Amino acid sequence: MTNVTPWITGWDLENPISIKVSNSAPLLEAKWEAGPTPYFERRSLSLDEAAEGKLGGSHVRGTAAEGEWQADDVDFNMFYVIKGSVQIEFEDGSSHELVADSSAVLPALYRYRFTKISDDFEALHFFAPDAYDIVWGKDTALPERVKTLNPNRSPGISHEEEEAWEDGLREFFEYRDLGTLEKTDGRLYVHVIRTTGQPYEEGTGWHYHSWAQCFFVLDGHADLRVETGARIALSAGDACCIGSGPTNRHFVDRATADYKLVELCVPGWKDATPVEAPEGASR
């Protein structure tokens, strides 16, 4: 591949990282703890365990009204707002209000700060790698790695708009692209999925993907089966990862009319292959 920005973790579209199957990680039972920024506290989505530290994810909530200027030494950095609101300012002088279902993709080593953090602010935060450094201050020198990055890199902001929802892989789901594919050179595709306004009992059928997926349930409920494992009941606040390839056959059914989730695909969106149910799989 050419003209691809190198990542700290050394992977790209042609050489993606491996994602392991992880069990449901219910956020509502996870412990809140201090994170790398003093204005948010977080609880883990367990994405770091599934991706061996090359990806990370947290559920965050505000603990202060505003933050300091910062630039994150990361490969990937994204916020998806669950509730409340926040203002985000960038080094180019632009400013955006993010509300529920808004998202922001933040470039590596690009200065920004959060202000007007509402008391009820909560968001999903996805980042790569799981551990990274933060450069604090608007005038602090950035590390040498900034010279390897696109000087014209810019943030990506997405808001909930009804016309942004599109048909996709499943006729009973609608999809909203959050604009990560181009900004990650195809490494990551992040979108929101929702049912089309009615419960769907029949399900997806057994299948596997050539890409791994990690998803985080926002609303509603569905059941998931992976290979011969037991049913996993997924409800709002649950998180789960499934690896790629024919050894990660799975089936989703019993989706409620309000089922909605954020899904990360590694690498970018590709295909689904229907298969027979694994022998001995739960029903």
In this predicted model, what pLDDT tens digit does every residue of 169-221 receive, in sequence order?
Answer: 888 899 999 999 999 999 999 999 999 888 888 889 999 999 999 999 999 99
Pairing of strands 122-128, 95-99: unpaired
Residues 20, 4: Cα–Cα separation, whole Å: 26
Omega prior to 129 cis, within 30 of 0: yes
Record the tokens describing residue 196, joined without a space. 């089309």
pTM: 0.95
In this predicted model, what pLDDT tens digit does every residue of 44-92 receive, in sequence order?
Answer: 988 999 999 999 999 999 999 999 999 999 999 999 999 999 999 999 9
In this predicted model, what pLDDT tens digit does every residue of 142-183 receive, in sequence order?
Answer: 999 999 999 999 999 999 999 999 998 888 899 999 999 999
What is the DSSP code (8-state) at residue 68?
A: -
What is the DSSP code (8-state) at residue 43?
A: E
In this predicted model, what pLDDT tens digit does every residue of 107-145 receive, in sequence order?
Answer: 999 999 999 999 999 999 999 999 999 999 999 999 999
Instruction: List, in order, residues 6 or more apart from 77 with CB less than 8 Å away.
Output: 105, 106, 107, 108, 126, 127, 128
